[in-house]
Structure 1
Amino acid sequence: MNSKERISELDLIRSFAFLAVVYQHVIGVFMRRPGLDEQTAVIYGMLFHLLKFAVPAFIFITGLVLFYNYWERVDYFSFIRKRTKEILVPYFVWSAVYLSLQPISSDSAGRSAWGILKAILTGSASYHLWFVVMIFQFYLLYPLWQRMFHAVRKWTGSHRVRLACAIGLFALLYAWLLWFSARYIPAHQFRFDIVLLDTYWIKYRDRNAFYYFFYFLMGGMAAVTLAAFRQKIVRYWPWTFASFVVLYVYIGYELLRDSGRGMINLNVATSLKPSMFFYTVAQLLLVYGLALWVGKGNGGRWLQTLGKFSYGAYLIHALVLTYTMKAMTWLGLFHNSVLGSCVVFLLCTAISFAISYSLGKLPFGAWLVGAADKKRKAPPLPQKEWSNAG
């Protein structure tokens, strides 16, 4: 059994995505502070759009790693056991931390066994933990995605037209799903009569993995065509960049149009709408190209290290951000300025990484921040890659 190449650019993309997440949350905090002027709010809105690739990037990486390592087969129970240790156990630990720090409300149900269980199942112990609930669904259902991917590969073979049709079909299906989420549901107050369906597909659709499936399959496509994928990223980056610029201008227009009069509404910048989907795909391709460029000649080592410990830092950063903002407020520094948000971002990033790195070096560190150094030993991909069609 041959060991595989470590895809070094993925650690860089993880670090980019983590940095983007932290600054998104910093912007969210600053946008809620009183006295923010409209011009600064617009700047924050534009920056927020530049950072929206973060969650799709993590999903893309997940798809790439899973299909790269487990393309042919997967021992499901061993696979889930490993991911439970690396992902769910740290999630449970930090959920408990966030729940313990929440003020006790007059509603005692919030601290009941059901309230705690609900918070853990929905990722609502803290505002950022929904992501773990969502991403773990891809691990749980990986055999389903794997079978579907194999069926599509068998149908497309090495035919470029069939491959293009398959990608186009999935893109249209995904765009329709986002239209359903962003337009149809709010306009028609659509609800399912069955409670479980309504909860999963309507109420908590922001953490329903199926609303993000295209980025996962996009990662799978990159995994089985890795060499060709890298080449095309480099070859077509001017066209990708041009598409990104056009779409960035358009979603900026949407943000100003749909926010209404007055302050910018960051909820308009949701990833679950068709325009953001096309924009995000272009941005992900650019981010991948940036990772390839930074990684040339063993560059970006500190970013790669940050990427390895990004999961723990992600779990921790909301807590660090809370106390960093309290300190800044107590000191009376920066107020609502963009400079202030940058300082808070740098402090939050550095402290979160330092804690994650330190905990990760402990004998039981994987139970707290996940496994930083993962060995990839899986059956090699078939000699004939899917995209000899490309």
Structure 2
Amino acid sequence: MRKERIAELELIRSFAFLAVVYQHVIGVYMRVPGIDPETAMVYGMWFHLLKFAVPAFVFITGLVLFYNYYEKITYLSFMRKRMTEILLPYLVWSIVYLLLSPDFLKGGDGGGVWNLSKTLLTGTASYHLWFVVMIFQFYLFYPLWQQVFRFMRRQAHTLLRFLVIAAGVSLVYGVMMWFSHRYIPAHGFSFHNVWLDTYFVKYRDRNAFYYFFYFLFGGMVAVLLPVFRAKIKQYWAWICISFVLLYGYVGYELIRDSGSGLINLNVATSLKPSMFLYTVAQLLLVYGLALWLLGRQRLAAMLTRIGQYSYGAYLIHALVLTYVMQGLRALQWFHEGILGSIVAFVLCSLLSFAISYGLSKLPLGWLLVGSAKKKRALPPAAKPSRKAAV
């Protein structure tokens, strides 16, 4: 029997897309000459509010995969679908960004082919494409994650054992975050093997293994969906309190670790222990917000539409942002300051969505934006029954 789509996920997906756009807008406006420390501080704190985006996408991926493919998977057809909907648009837009980069292919004879291969494998054709390389690894190795998750679930046959396993996974992931953020930089750690060093050290920011907790967290929600929704509502006040406290702490870290100069956004990396705890609290908060918005039909419908076309919009938005900023600077309007960043964010988001939506209507639009066709969902305002998967 075909399962219903989980309606709140499109809302979370739209939140994550919009958060990514504003992160990149902030990155542009932080580099404006003469920015004052107070404005930089506001950008830094807003940046922390938006850092849930990548973990949210990983969480959604895990939830959807385990929800639909928990029992079995036909790997070839599974990968064919993902290559068509995810990899091909990524390759097309990577070429587009490379063609717009005048500094590419300067490696001499044979250098072009090597540079192109390396760029596509590492997602460096544009600053945002690393994410596609990272997320695609979860699809590529899903059968392995499936076996790991099913093994852990079989062991968690009592509440106590479930809590022990959850605590163990959290501890392992926390140690990984410490290793990534503290140990590697402090000790100049590297593997003797160049392939291991490249994958686990140099490009660890796009190594799916460094995001595995959010993927398995999505799987846990997939198999406990009605219970999870109920617990979000039951402990909503505690979730909000936890989020506020952790938000304050990571803000303190941002100020402390930025040094005596302006705010350093690189301090706000997701790959550190404090951001791990903060991100989990924020994901719970965002999920609760999505559940609440399901009852606001018009707003939920608008956000759902954004979520459905968010992959194409994500691929496009870096290019759109470039031209939006060129236009604002040429006009000398809203090209600096907090208000300007909000204007740039709105323009970039709307234009990226509109272009993604328009391209999806073309005969071969899926090559550019993937497939926006989704399974039937209950109306956003509907209250799901226990038997419905929503």
Shift of 1:106: 9.0
Matches within 5 A, 1:1-390: 2-104=1-103, 107-108=106-107, 112-157=112-157, 159-296=158-295, 298-299=297-298, 300-375=300-375
For normalisation by structure 2, the TM-score amounts to: 0.94
Shift of 1:297: 5.3
Shift of 1:204: 0.1
Q: How much identity, in percent, do the aligned residues show?
A: 64
| Residue segments in structure 2 that go unaligned for 5+ positions in a row | 378-386
What is the distance in 2 between the residues matched to 1:346 and 1:355? Answer: 14
Shift of 1:108: 3.3
Cα offsets for 1:30-88 (capped at 9, x unmatched): 11121111100000000000000000000000000000000100000100000000000
| Residue segments in structure 1 that go unaligned for 5+ positions in a row | 378-384, 386-390
> Retained in 2: the 8 A contact 1:69–1:376?
no
Which amino acid is 1:133 matched to? V
Shift of 1:361: 1.3
Which amino acid is 1:324 matched to? V
Higher relative contact order (CA 8 A, sep 6+): 1
Note closer, same or farther for the CA distance 1:347–1:248 as it changes in structure 2 (3 Å cut): same
What is the distance in 1 between the residues matched to 2:10 and 2:287? Answer: 11
Query: Aligned to 1:192, what secondary structure does the other structure show?
Result: coil
What is the distance in 1 between the residues matched to 2:179 and 2:336? Answer: 36
Note closer, same or farther for the CA distance 1:197–1:329 as it changes in structure 2 (3 Å cut): same
Matched length? 377
Shift of 1:234: 1.0
For normalisation by structure 1, the TM-score amounts to: 0.94
Shift of 1:335: 3.7
Cα offsets for 1:7-52 (capped at 9, x unmatched): 1111100000000000000000111121111100000000000000
Which amino acid is 2:170 matched to? A
Shift of 1:98: 0.2
RMSD value, Cα: 1.6
What is the distance in 2 between the residues matched to 1:206 and 1:330? Answer: 35
> Retained in 2: the 8 A contact 1:3–1:376?
no
Query: Aligned to 1:125, what secondary structure does the other structure show?
Result: coil
> Retained in 1: the 8 A contact 2:105–2:115?
no
Query: Aligned to 1:153, what secondary structure does the other structure show?
Result: helix
What is the distance in 2 between the residues matched to 1:96 and 1:376? Answer: 34
What is the distance in 2 between the residues matched to 1:317 and 1:121? Answer: 21
Deviation above 2 Å: which 4+ runs of structure 1?
104-111, 374-377
What is the distance in 2 between the residues matched to 1:374 and 1:173? Answer: 35
What is the distance in 2 between the residues matched to 1:135 and 1:56? Answer: 10
* Bigger Cα displacement from structure 2, 249-258 vs 365-374: 365-374
> Retained in 1: the 8 A contact 2:334–2:344?
no
Shift of 1:315: 0.1
